[in-house]
Structure 1
Amino acid sequence: MAPPRNRRPGFSRRAQYGLFIGYVIAIAGALVGAVLLALATFDPPAFSALRSGAAEVTAPISWGVGSIWRGITGIPSAIGSFFGVHGENARLKEQIAGERQQLIRARAIAYENIRLKKLLAVREPGTETVTTARVVSSSAGSTRRFALLYAGLIQGVHAGMPVRAADGLVGRVLEAGPDTARILLLTDPESVIPVRRTRDGAPGFATGRGDGVLDVKPIALGNAAFGPGDVLVTSGTGGLFPPNLPVGQVTSRTRDGALARPYASPDALDYAIVLSAFMTPPPAPPADSRP
């Protein structure tokens, strides 16, 4: 008796089961993606809560994987630093000697500034450190720039709080869960930071471009254009970010502004500091009790 034509000799049952399981996983993934897309479209608060719950579960895994990856990627730089330590030491000594005079002048100006504020009885809101936590991950595969902080509502972190690192401003808290918080980095296209130039106080706005660079534009066209080497700090306008936090340094001019490189690089960020809002928002007006 001749074998049937549709028989495929050599095609094992294990391969058939593998193909079937692959189809099942692909279909299940498509269904889950469709459900999440519908939830994000029609019920954003529920989707935000679901995303915060997923972040709580995946944060320890991201922490461990990120630590291993940073250790592996840091091996070449550690080897290079070992061989170049003598030249780097000499360069740093020369840099310290050149900046010592600038530090003395800066301290004198800061002291004079404090004295004048006391004479004028200037009242300024304070800024407190809420918590210091590890940054377990950051987005690198899309134009949106977010980071996951291993601290949340339990540690006193709330949406809208500014986040900084030792080098400068990182961004602000976008949403907070029980033990994790999602940070909108200053390099995200939706991030707009009021800034000023340190040498003359020229105001402007620094907007993220999604590629690790900031797009800086002056507030008024009549202001002096930003140029390479200009240092930018937060201006305190808006009441969210405290003034004088380092933001970045201008690298080149554009047709209507400039490009700047932020001081705090999210890719090399291990820990971040969450600050209280510079000025707390005013309380909501009381509800009208009239019938």
Structure 2
Amino acid sequence: MAPPRNRRPGFSRRAQYGLFLTYVGAISGALIGAVLLLLSAFNPPAFAALRRTVAEVTTPVSSGMAWAAAGVSGVPSAVGSYFTVHGENARLRKQLAAEQQLVSRAQTLIRENGKLRGLLKLRDVGSEIVVTARLVNSSATSTRRYATLNAGSWQGVQHGQPVREPAGLVGQVVEAGPNTARVLLIVDAESIVPVRRTRDGVPAIAAGRGDGMIEIRSAGAAAMIFRPGDAFVTSGTGGIFPPDVPVAHVIKPGRDIAVAEPEANPSTLDFAVVQPSFLPPPPPPAPAPTAGASTTPAASPAAP
């Protein structure tokens, strides 16, 4: 059968429909444009109302498309900013670690400087110093409060000598070995130190409580009122502790008895000074002569 003569080889029906719709769209657009042109020329208010309506409909669509376009265009810059911020964060972390090392080193130097200043103060405590020794340990949590010095009788340390540091009194030597000594701290319950108040010289007794604090008791018959901040120093009474060594300051008000905080904290000390007793002990009594001993000189032998 011969093909029809009106058939166009290579031209599909879909292409024909597409061409037809293109013509229809072009003609429709031309008609709409002509209508709008006539409307704008002969009825401007109606054309303005139509224009506003179209603007209200198309504005959200235009805004959404503009937002999407801005987001897509900002992707490269966002990626670049991410890598830039990541690198800057790594650099800042490295710088922070280096600065923390510097701060730690500075704190170590400050502590060492404080220790050296403390040693200089220990040198200036007084001319009468038996020895400057290290506090190797202290019982900070026991009911009895003792400390150990790395100096003993070979260095001149004796029983009863006071021990102090630049801030104040630490305690008293109770045992002395060849190279070590045991110190009874002033916060121990068995420790009693005669003191006086600095602002008026009123005498009192500083007794340890065993809990790291000191109890200040009135030493006179009259009532004694304590106020926070009252400072107490050794009075020299008893002949053991030299006068005017800081001991404690009151932290709670009281009448006749008050709680005070010691000026020296043995748990934070490195070095301490051992001093001789304020009044040297009396010399031992001379031995009494034995009964029945002859006091007359022996007779000289007779001459031949």
TM-score (norm 2): 0.54
Tell me what 1:260 maps to.
260
Task: Please name the residue that 2:244 is paired with.
Answer: 244
Larger radius of gyration: 2
Which has the larger displacement, 193-202 or 252-261? 252-261
Judge conservation of contact 1:207–1:216 (CA < 8 Å) in 2. yes
Task: Give the aligned partner of residue 230 of structure 1.
Answer: 230
Whole-angstrom distance in 1 between the partners of 2:209 and 2:154: 32
The unaligned stretches of length 5 or more in structure 1 are: 1-77, 86-125
Confirm whether residue 203 of structure 1 aligns to residue 203 of structure 2: yes
- 1:172 corresponds to which residue? 172
1:212 aligns with 2:212: yes
In structure 1, what is the Cα distance between the partners aligned to 2:263 and 2:199?
17
Read off the aligned partner of 2:168 and give its amino acid letter. Answer: G
C-alpha separation in 1, matches of 2:188 and 2:159: 16
Aligned to 2:279, what secondary structure does the other structure show? coil
Is the CA contact (8 Å cut-off) linking 1:240 and 1:278 kept in structure 2?
yes
CA distance in 2, matches of 1:142, 1:170: 17
Paired positions, count: 172
Task: Find the aligned partners of 2:127 and 2:172 in 1 and give their Cα distance.
Answer: 14
5+ residue gaps, structure 2, are: 1-102, 111-125, 292-304
Question: Deviation per CA, 1:64-93, whole angstroms, max 9, x where unpaired?
Answer: xxxxxxxxxxxxxx86x96xx9xxxxxxxx
Shift of residue 127, structure 1, vs aligned partner: 6.5
Question: CA separation in 2, counterparts of 1:251 and 1:242?
Answer: 24
After TM superposition, list the pairs within 5 Å mapping 1:1-291 onto structure 2. Answer: 128-254=128-254, 256-291=256-291
**8 Å CA contact retained: 2:226, 2:256:** no
The alignment-based identity, stated in percent, is: 53
Tell me the secondary structure at the aligned position of residue 154 of structure 1: helix
Residue aligned with 2:201, SS: coil
Tell me by how many angstroms 1:233 deviates. 0.3
Distance of 1:127 and 1:163 partners within structure 2: 14
TM-superposed CA distance for 1:283, in Å, is 1.3
Give the CA deviation at 1:272.
Answer: 0.3
Q: Which residue of 2 aligns with 1:51?
A: none
